[in-house]
Structure 1
Amino acid sequence: MKTRLSRREWLAGTSLLAASTLLPRVRSAPSTSATPAASTARAPNLLFFFPDQMRRQAMGFVGEDPALTPHIDRFSREGLYLPRATSTFPVCSPWRGMMMTGRFPCATGITNNCNSTRPTVYLHRDEDCVTDVLHRAGYHIGYIGKWHLTHPHAPYIPQDIREDDVKWDEFTPKADRHHIDYWYGYNAYDDHLRPRYWDNNAPRDGYHYVNEWSPEHETDLGIRYLENAGGAMRDPAKPFALWMSLNPPHPPYAKVPARLRERYQGHSWRDLLQRKNVRLEGIGANARDAVLDYFAAVTGVDEQFGRVLATLDRLNLADDTIVVFTSDHGDMMGSQGLMSKPYPYEEAFSIPLIIRWPGRLAAGRTDDLLFGTPDLMPTLLGLMGQRTQIPRQVQGTDYADLLLGRPGPKRPDSAFYLDSTDGGHRGVRTHRHTYVTGLGANGEARVRLFDNENDRYQLHNLAEKEPALAAELDRATQEWLHRIGDPWPANARA
């Protein structure tokens, strides 16, 4: 018979207690003391595992949300954790475009989500992506799950459960897959309990449906790819690079198996919405009904990630495989009275990023590097021995040496932020402050400045009280705009 725990017992038994796992961690200075192990003869494999819309605070070991994530918690003790990793543009397609190309949206044209209303917004064939580089280096490349970089076009294929006229899902031809060898994916289809896919050789009308929760089904396929029975999934003579792109905990939140809700049984939204900036008003009121399903999906993602890690162990692949756990952006879930993602607040802008490479990246280490989305592509290539093959047009920075404990590039003083809402916003995140300028919903000039050290929930806007600091961070924002060639219009700025 199940008994109801008190709120104190619940918190003690979940991830808030797991915050103690942070105690051995120390901030990594740009030291040269770490000595990487000798390089293996074979190039490392890559497993890039990324759920959609999972905020950094929802990892149990962080000690902020009461989310149950035992496998991620263990993984954090085995890998390198970057708590200052940011989603440069916290929206699905722009993040994915930066992840693939190492370039900012102003360079790729992926300036918002790909859908039928934006015919010029998609990943172009002539972009030199991380998968193209790895193909030339002799890798077998797999991609499973959500792509969201293809433009839907008429005649439209059947869409998902959304009720508006905007089309989201689309077939991705082989010519647009950037040398991905094994493809099992879709563009944007949000029925998590009856997902739809195109497999490797399917034509546009050859999609199929699966009556299973999408993360579980995709993990089944990922495990088959890793097992590679009889060489059916990939060339066993080649190193592999596998992207596993899970849609949950992305909405619709309720599309989650009941067994995962049961992990939080007996606990109300009051137990789960613990952040002091939660306001259940306006759209933020939706968090009351969504939060249990959101955390249930997070726990389900953790469960599937654990299955993948166990498979690497079972197949003796763990030591030869770089594993990345991250997400494209977070979810406000009622904080600041908001839901979803395109915001500069920590709940949307701050993302999980843990990288494990046994014997090469020091286990259980934390590095407060201000790491932006365009840095993913060149840093991965640097770790995988492909530094000289990083395309010239890449705008991100290769931080592989810093992560390996070697002398490397200068550590940045800020990470760039941008979005396209209300005419657009631009700004920076430093180790201590967040600064964002742009227009409000009514067209008025708006500047936000938060001291994240003394005001972790970003409740107090210091822009008027600290004009000198605001001016300093505005100059840093202008330097970013100039560096990346962002033509953000002057009239969108405060």
Structure 2
Amino acid sequence: MLSAHFDKLRHTSLGCGAHRGSTKPRPLCARKLLCLGWAWLLSFASPAGHGAARPNVLLICVDDLKPLLGCYGEARVRTPHIDRLAARGVLFEAAYANQAVCAPSRNALLTGRRPTSLGIYDLGTNFRLAMPEAVTLPQYFKQHGWRTEALGKIFHVGHGNHEDPASWSVPHWGPRGGPAGGYVLPENRPPQLTREEALFQNVPAAQAAKLPRGAATECADVPDTAYPDGRLAEEAIRRLRAAKDRPEVPFFLAVGFLKPHLPFVAPKRYWDLYDRASFQPHPLQQPPQGAPAFAPTAWGELRQYSDIPETGPLSADQQRLLIHGYHAAVSYVDAQIGRVLEELDRLGLAPNTIVVLWGDHGWHLGDHGMWCKHTNFEQANRVPFLIVAPGVTPAGKRTRALTESVDLYPTLCELAGLPVPAGLEGISLVPALRRPESATTKDAVFHVYPRSPKGLGPLLGRAVRTARHRLVEWKRPGAPADTAILELYDYAADPDETRNWAAQQPQVVARLRALLAHQPEAKPQLRPAANRLQPTATNAPPARS
């Protein structure tokens, strides 16, 4: 293709030193030919398709957001702004987190390495203890001239962990309050922080355990900016306006919204969008038949809250309240995302901005008798994932192409015209963005969750998800294959995961285990003597600011 193009240039253009008036074409001189060749190559350098203008990136991360969105076919939920974003680009119907908990999932997205390669499956171990030399996705863009900024929850902050200064051109900005707090009603605001608020502010766990528990929900008649996500949207708008005044510098703006993470707090008008009586507890209240007893979650995260029993099931009314609260929080965060997207349009930045919306993992809303995330089941691992890339993505298309969080890093590199760094474990999704209805990406995606069942020791549940099946292989890292405990789910025969099919489909089990065997051996949990990256926590009683 290149040689044909240069032949055409040679035989149709006047060369250097051609005689004026001559009708005979002369060969191009080497310098002019080289310049034309480079110009032609550079015209194809950026798939985003804006000539020399490097595309901006707006990365929207949403904490605990499952695909409970109108654009994913959930007619009841009110998410008009995210739905409009989906109508402008490509929606991935089969997108999966690499682990259903915040820190490892975000590490995967931002480093391009799965948790099994980092050996980090918990909240408190910083990824740089495993890979000090890692160049994160925003850090890579920063190295290539982008101004990178982080607002809200991008990397996991709390439980001993913190943001990654090397990734950003300016210090990280976070709103007052956090994923586990931000209450506004006086009865929910004791003088000291609540237990969950303290953990997200890196108060030591032993000290946090002595603090009062907060409420799992809050409905207050207040403006959107009374809660952290409203203030986060305001700051994102301010950053976009500042970026507009720096047209010569492309931006990579990461905005991490906190809801619908627990507690489910939102202004009253978002609660009023729904009739609580119309919500019913999930009809499937039992774990899958034949699943290991340790595979489900005990939803300890939810039980940290004062209005949730520490043991036993939830009443039907409690379940309705939580389902209602999750919907209200989703609609609230949708409105804040809408404010940011509207400002992007108003400023005229949208035509040269790649927009990504990603949920860090799913959430159990009572299915299988479970709440929260922390499992290898479908509801905990499937995530919303939307990409709008001007000049690349057709409007309003959907794709069934399998994808996982580690795929975003190489995808954004290709869209921005950057070389893809070596060592990334994902693949570029640009073919699926260009041809969403026909392109295939990969045959399987991978995720993991750890468990420490009594008498079995620390196990890793390594999972492989194909278009039809999910296999989970539970064993100690490095242990012989014949020690594994297996789960198999067949979503064609049993879309609700009501039973473990491993004994009935041995050939499928063998095929999927072979896929796992071709993956690098999972590393055990990294356990440094001390998290030397952890900021020093105060020993003073954690007072509310």
TM-score normalised by the shorter chain: which range applies? 0.7 to 0.9
Distance change (3 Å), C-alpha of 1:322 and 1:229: closer
Letter in 2 for 1:463: A
Structure 1, 319-328 or 180-189: larger mean CA deviation: 180-189
Contact 2:285–2:368 under 8 Å retained in 1 = yes
1:239 is aligned, of 250, 256, 267, to 250
Contact 2:123–2:161 under 8 Å retained in 1 = no
1:453 is aligned, of 485, 492, 506, to 492
Measured in 1, the distance between the counterparts of 2:242 and 2:76 equals 37
Deviations 1:304-354 (A, max 9, x none): 111111111111111111111111001101111111112122211100001
Deviations 1:164-208 (A, max 9, x none): xxxx26664xx7342332520389752134699xxxxxxx99xxx
Measured in 1, the distance between the counterparts of 2:470 and 2:314 equals 22
Residues 384-403 of structure 1 mapped to structure 2, 5 A cutoff: 384-386=416-418, 388=419, 390-403=420-433
Aligned to 2:513: 474
Residues 401-420 of structure 1 mapped to structure 2, 5 A cutoff: 401-405=431-435, 411-420=441-450
Aligned to 2:238: 224
Aligned to 1:129: 136
Cα deviation for residue 63 of structure 1 reads 2.4
Distance change (3 Å), C-alpha of 1:39 and 1:438: same
Measured in 1, the distance between the counterparts of 2:266 and 2:463 equals 35
Aligned to 1:185: 174
Contact 2:401–2:440 under 8 Å retained in 1 = no
Aligned to 1:163: none
Aligned to 2:276: 267
- 1:343 is the counterpart of 2:375: yes
Distance change (3 Å), C-alpha of 1:228 and 1:354: same
Contact 1:192–1:248 under 8 Å retained in 2 = no
Aligned to 2:79: 69
Structure 1, 427-436 or 63-72: larger mean CA deviation: 63-72
Distance change (3 Å), C-alpha of 1:257 and 1:409: closer
Measured in 2, the distance between the counterparts of 1:179 and 1:456 equals 42
Measured in 2, the distance between the counterparts of 1:412 and 1:184 equals 36
Measured in 2, the distance between the counterparts of 1:368 and 1:297 equals 27
Aligned to 2:413: 381
- 1:85 is the counterpart of 2:74: no
Aligned to 1:249: 260
Distance change (3 Å), C-alpha of 1:108 and 1:466: closer
Contact 1:427–1:474 under 8 Å retained in 2 = no
Which protein shows a greater Rg?
Answer: 2
Measured in 2, the distance between the counterparts of 1:211 and 1:74 equals 23
Contact 2:69–2:83 under 8 Å retained in 1 = yes
Measured in 1, the distance between the counterparts of 2:439 and 2:71 equals 29
Distance change (3 Å), C-alpha of 1:339 and 1:230: closer
Measured in 2, the distance between the counterparts of 1:99 and 1:261 equals 32
Cα deviation for residue 146 of structure 1 reads 1.5
Cα deviation for residue 430 of structure 1 reads 0.5
Aligned to 2:209: none
Contact 2:48–2:390 under 8 Å retained in 1 = no
Letter in 2 for 1:192: G
SS of residue paired to 2:333:
helix
Deviations 1:341-382 (A, max 9, x none): 121222111000011123321111111121111111111111
Measured in 2, the distance between the counterparts of 1:95 and 1:314 equals 33
Letter in 2 for 1:181: V
SS of residue paired to 1:424:
strand
- 1:176 is the counterpart of 2:165: yes
Contact 2:447–2:463 under 8 Å retained in 1 = yes
Contact 2:118–2:127 under 8 Å retained in 1 = no
1:314 is aligned, of 346, 351, 370, to 346
- 1:433 is the counterpart of 2:469: yes
- 1:329 is the counterpart of 2:361: yes
Contact 1:123–1:149 under 8 Å retained in 2 = no
SS of residue paired to 1:183:
coil
Deviations 1:255-312 (A, max 9, x none): 2222221111x332xx334754355995566634311111100001111111111111
Contact 2:402–2:444 under 8 Å retained in 1 = yes
Letter in 2 for 1:216: G
Distance change (3 Å), C-alpha of 1:38 and 1:87: closer
Aligned to 1:31: none
Cα deviation for residue 122 of structure 1 reads 6.0
Cα deviation for residue 237 of structure 1 reads 2.0
Letter in 1 for 2:504: K
Structure 1, 92-101 or 463-472: larger mean CA deviation: 463-472
- 1:299 is the counterpart of 2:331: yes
CA RMSD of aligned residues (A): 3.3
Letter in 2 for 1:48: L
Measured in 2, the distance between the counterparts of 1:350 and 1:435 equals 15
Number of aligned residue pairs: give it.
405
Contact 1:437–1:447 under 8 Å retained in 2 = yes
Contact 1:51–1:246 under 8 Å retained in 2 = yes
SS of residue paired to 2:266:
coil
Contact 2:155–2:162 under 8 Å retained in 1 = no
Normalised TM-score (structure 1): 0.74
Contact 2:126–2:161 under 8 Å retained in 1 = no
Measured in 1, the distance between the counterparts of 2:411 and 2:244 equals 33
Cα deviation for residue 416 of structure 1 reads 0.7
Measured in 1, the distance between the counterparts of 2:243 and 2:250 equals 16
Cα deviation for residue 384 of structure 1 reads 1.3
Residues 190-201 of structure 1 mapped to structure 2, 5 A cutoff: 190-193=180-183
SS of residue paired to 1:431:
coil
Contact 1:276–1:457 under 8 Å retained in 2 = no
Aligned to 2:23: none
Percent of matched pairs sharing the same residue: 28
Letter in 2 for 1:145: G
Letter in 2 for 1:142: E
Contact 1:97–1:123 under 8 Å retained in 2 = no
Cα deviation for residue 41 of structure 1 reads 2.3
Measured in 2, the distance between the counterparts of 1:188 and 1:104 equals 26
Structure 1: unaligned runs, 5 residues or longer: 1-35, 153-167, 197-203, 490-494
